[in-house]
Structure 1
Amino acid sequence: MKTLSKDNAENVARHLAMAARLIDEDPALAHEHALAASRSAGRVGVVRETVAITAYAVGDFALALRELRTHRRITGSDDQVPLIVDSERGVGKPDRALEEGRAVDRSKLSVPVRVQLAIAMSGARLDLGETERALQELDIPEADPDRAFEWSPALFSARAAVLEELGRDAEAAEWERRAQIAADALDAAAGVADREVIVVEEIELIDDEGGVDVASGVIPTEDLGLDDIEDLGDTSTSADDADVTDADADAVSAGAVDVDEADADSDASTESSAPDEDAR
């Protein structure tokens, strides 16, 4: 197995760090950094993943698909299947998007990835004009309006959008309101220690399984970090190789956050609390 030299590894790490930093404010420049990293470490999974994510962000869905499939082949991970589904939608193939989503064993996906996949599958149904079925795709346990995780704003907003398409305006407005409450709570909780809790009232925000807050196109910049880049090997596969293997995704434990609708826009108080052990 070919190993990256120290200089190359450091160079790749710098480019990946810049891609992660710039993905929201300047996706095109983030993509340039990802491509630069791929020139030095094109057969490393996290590099191909980063190229895919930044390609998606700049609207190059064909490149995103190619890179995502290569990443899946290298790593054996289905963590980016929601982005594969959305990229298929991006190239105008909602039927193929649904096939990709149905091909994975959802029981082997982490909760955040399952939620992202539900949102992407719902979007594909909308593309096909299957509005009722788009709503059914979002009928998952994580859509509990009284308990919100980090992925809840996107999930609630997706549900609101489908309900609006169905002409159910009152329900749509309620889900959009809850999405805003959850988003405000997450903003208020940013930086709070794992065992601290922000108390308000209506929605309990628990982050014991981790999550990725995405909006109808899964761009988890947290995934752009490096693990031991100096030791990453050259596990070669072709960029056109689209073989699929399944892999379990581990859930990540984090702290609990309670949110009060009435005080969502005011200062929140903090107090100590043990992590929620609720298993989904």
Structure 2
Amino acid sequence: MSLPKTLATDVARNLVMCAQLLDEDPERAYAYSRVALRLASRVAAVREAAGFASYAVEKYAEALAEFRAARRMSGADHLWPVMADCERGLGRPERALAMAGEPEVRRLDKAGQVEMRLVAAGARRDMGEAEAAVVTLQSPELNSSSTQPWVARLRYAYADALLAVGREAEARDWFAKTLDADSGGVTNASDRLAELDGVEFVDALDPELDEED
């Protein structure tokens, strides 16, 4: 709304393409985000989109700079967890862990707080503290009846952390609980369960199978 109409339209088109391509073709999404950034670098939404596009192609220093700029412009805290994850990407898990204890976390909504917990657990694992990662993920939200995607993501991370410390039976239970909560298919819990159960999937149309027969 702060831009002239023609410029606003051009920026919006680039942001739409960035959003559409972010998962399937992050490099192209990144290119569109850079165009939007050149056109409207003083718009918080543009800086945020550029941050996510940079994050998707693992340009973590660039992403962190964009997220910081967006946060300064908007005054919102919702980017705090992904900023912390950028610190992990830059090889600074200690900074990510420190961010998990800052006042900004208390101002996040439930999804944001869970995301911050996931980042903190990842930082613990980066630092070789696998058992501490398990403890970090232990929270009442694991048993939440919410249908939001963060429930499945939290359970999946907990199952994976349990597996990393050799607690295979518990990990299997939590992968199963993940599957129960994962109506949107945000995790590959079914594959992890199959792997733990020794189930191997094969492609019935694979010509190499006929050759083996």
Which residue pairs with 1:144 in the alignment? 143
More strand by share: 1
Q: How far did 1:67 drift?
A: 0.7
Give the alignment of 1:92-103 within 5 angstroms: 92-103=91-102
Give the alignment of 1:1-280 within 5 angstroms: 3-144=2-143, 148-183=147-182, 185-186=183-184
For residues 112 and 147 of structure 1, the distance between their equivalents in structure 2, rounded to whole angstroms, comes to: 11
**What is the aligned-residue RMSD (CA, Å)?**
1.9
Conservation of the 8 A alpha-carbon contact between 2:80 and 2:104: no
Conservation of the 8 A alpha-carbon contact between 2:81 and 2:119: yes
Q: How far did 1:85 drift?
A: 1.2
User: Which whole-Å deviations, capped at 9, do the CAs of 1:72-117 have from their partners, x for residues lacking one?
Assistant: 1111111011111111010100001112222234331111111111
Amino acid at match of 2:46: V
Q: How far did 1:148 drift?
A: 4.6
CA change 1:214–1:85 in 2 (3 A) is: farther
CA change 1:73–1:145 in 2 (3 A) is: closer
Amino acid at match of 1:169: E
Conservation of the 8 A alpha-carbon contact between 1:151 and 1:214: no
Figure out how many residues of one structure are paired with residues of the other and give that number.
188
TM-score, normalised to structure 2's length? 0.82
Q: Secondary structure at the match of 2:42?
A: coil
Conservation of the 8 A alpha-carbon contact between 2:77 and 2:104: no
Contiguous gaps of at least 5 residues in structure 1? 188-212, 216-280
CA change 1:22–1:102 in 2 (3 A) is: same
CA change 1:105–1:62 in 2 (3 A) is: closer
For residues 9 and 187 of structure 2, the distance between their equivalents in structure 1, rounded to whole angstroms, comes to: 29
Conservation of the 8 A alpha-carbon contact between 1:152 and 1:182: yes
Conservation of the 8 A alpha-carbon contact between 1:145 and 1:178: no
Q: How far did 1:45 drift?
A: 0.6
Deviating above 3 A after TM superposition, structure 1's stretches of 4 or more consecutive aligned residues are: 145-148
